[in-house]
Amino acid sequence: MASDGANGHSGVDTGKYIKWNAEGVEKIPPNEAEDIKAVADMINQMQQKQINNHRHCYSGTHARTQGIVKGKLIVKELPQHLAQTLFSKLAEYPIAMRYSTEPGDPGIDDRIPQPRGLGMKVFNVQGEMFDAGKDFPTQDIEFNNAPALELADAKTTREIFEIRIKYGDDKKDLYKQLEARDDTDLQKARDQLRNTHLESFRMYSQSAFRFGDYVVKYSLVPSGETQKKAHEETVDPDSHPNNILSQWLQEFYSKHDAEYLFQVQFLENLDEQPVEYAGTPWDDAKYPWQTVAKVIVPKQESFLPSRKTFWEEHIRLDPWHGLKTFQPLGSSNRLRRGVYPASAGFRHKMIARKEINVTSIDQIPDGGFVTG
């Protein structure tokens, strides 16, 4: 990938950046609402399978927690085109980050290559929020180690979930269904991702977001030398245990701080950088990444039982919990707006736990017993 260096692309405003509310940025297709409702129902069906298999209910995706850590997001002085939304002024925000494995099975083996996720909750955020999060000053941000999202829009998600529910227990039959599709390579890519240290991955938004006046995709780039070195090692299915990724993460954070660069990639050409379809990466040679902030996570215990339990049972990470100037865009994000509340509502009902919208990082436990 271009612009993976420690400094990213310094960047100036090219004058070609497309405004977030320009014609054509979002085009809502017919029947999308029906697709979203169908996906929400299927997510709940997958969660019922969790209950059947594990006698517990988790989120519909990213069910396997690999670690949860606390750190800070540091914004320094930026040129005007980068000084947008969350990054509009000098600031140091407390953050909590959860590393996860994407599928909805909390027992999935770490030795199986799969997409890995990272969810970030940013605290002490000021500005006009969407109604869902207007009462708590946080910004939720999601990342994935795959640059493109195979669930590229609501219609595709509905089709793929139908296939996974029917054939997901038999990879041969599943692949037979996927190979009949036009996007076979995109759908299979999730099983071919590099299986390595979680703290060493470059993480992507996959979908597009409003960025103040503009539109971007965002990325979190490991900048610590130890993190970058760790990327050279991969999981060995024959010698490593089934929880190797959590073990590696614990070992790393017991000895090292983590450092990341938060970078953005601007929308300049809707033909080459689709917003509605999240299955196409934006060419970073033509549309380079630019650094807007730094993330520092000090060494700590990354697998505290109290944090894991509190997060899994009480917290919902949702990109629609945040600033209007950081609005999620495109079909996959409109899907999230409908599906995430449905998934969280079912989960909290089935485990008899209340959703807690934390307003301070101190509410996320540092040890002891969960009291929420």
Residue 295 phi, psi (nearest 5): -110, 130
Helix 32-54 and helix 331-351, axial crossing angle in degrees, nearest 10: 30
Question: Does the pLDDT of residue 153 top 60, yes or no?
Answer: yes
pLDDT at 5: 42
What average pLDDT does the segment 242-247 reach? 98
The mean predicted confidence, pLDDT, of the chain is 95
Confidence of residue 368 (pLDDT cuts 50, 70, 90): confident
d(CA 253, CA 248): 9
Instruction: Report pLDDT digits (tens) over 8-61.
Output: 554 566 679 999 999 999 999 999 999 999 999 999 999 999 999 999 999 999
Domains of the chain: 32-353 (2.40.180.10)
Q: How far is CA 100 from CA 67, 84, 106, 199, in A?
A: 7, 29, 10, 11
Question: Does the pLDDT of residue 284 top 70, yes or no?
Answer: yes
Q: For residues 35, 37, 38 and 41, what is the CA-based torsion angle, rounded to 10 degrees? A: 160
Which letter, b or e, does each residue of 38-56 get, where b requires 16 or more Cβ atoms within 10 Å of its Cβ? bbbebbbebbebbeeeeee
CA angle 14, 20, 24 (to 5 degrees): 100
Q: How many Cβ atoms are within 10 Å of 241's Cβ, its own excluded?
A: 11
The residue among 72 and 169 whose pLDDT is bigger is 72
Confidence of residue 372 (pLDDT cuts 50, 70, 90): low
Tokens of 334: 């409109």
Question: Does the pLDDT of residue 144 top 70, yes or no?
Answer: yes
pLDDT at 370: 78
pLDDT at 11: 59
Alpha-carbon torsion 126, 348, 249, 152, what sign?
negative
Helix 331-351 and helix 154-167, axial crossing angle in degrees, nearest 10: 50
Beta strands in the chain (DSSP E): 64-75, 91-101, 116-123, 138-144, 203-204, 209-211, 214-222, 258-266, 290-297
d(CA 135, CA 162): 36
Instruction: Report pLDDT digits (tens) over 300-338.
Output: 999 999 999 999 999 999 999 999 999 999 999 999 999
pLDDT at 3: 42
pLDDT at 316: 94
Q: How far is CA 338 from CA 35, 43, 96, 278, in A?
A: 10, 11, 24, 17
Residue at 155: amino acid letter: K
pLDDT at 180: 97
What average pLDDT does the segment 194-218 reach? 98
The answer to whether 155 touches 29, Cβ cutoff 8 Å, is yes
Cβ burial of 9 (10 Å; 0-12, 13-18, 19+) is: middle
User: Which of 317, 267, 265 minimizes the C-alpha distance to 291?
Assistant: 265
DSSP 360: S
Q: Give the helix ranges, DSSP H, for 32-153.
A: 32-54
User: Which of 72, 87, 84, 77 minimizes the C-alpha distance to 120?
Assistant: 72
Question: Does the pLDDT of residue 149 top 80, yes or no?
Answer: yes
Q: How far is CA 224 from CA 70, 87, 229, 263, in A?
A: 17, 22, 9, 15
What average pLDDT does the segment 173-195 reach? 97
Percentages (nearest 5) of helix, strand, coil residues in the chain: 30, 20, 50
Confidence of residue 6 (pLDDT cuts 50, 70, 90): very low
Confidence of residue 99 (pLDDT cuts 50, 70, 90): very high
The answer to whether 165 touches 345, Cβ cutoff 8 Å, is no
What average pLDDT does the segment 139-168 reach? 97
Tokens of 358: 């934390």
What average pLDDT does the segment 157-182 reach? 96
Lowest mean pLDDT of 35-39, 116-120, 169-173, name the range: 169-173
User: Which of 190, 192, 218 minimizes the C-alpha distance to 205?
Assistant: 218
| Start-to-end Cα distance in the chain | 43
Confidence of residue 369 (pLDDT cuts 50, 70, 90): confident
Question: Does the pLDDT of residue 7 top 60, yes or no?
Answer: no
Neighbouring residues of 305: CB distance < 8 A, sequence distance ≥ 6: none
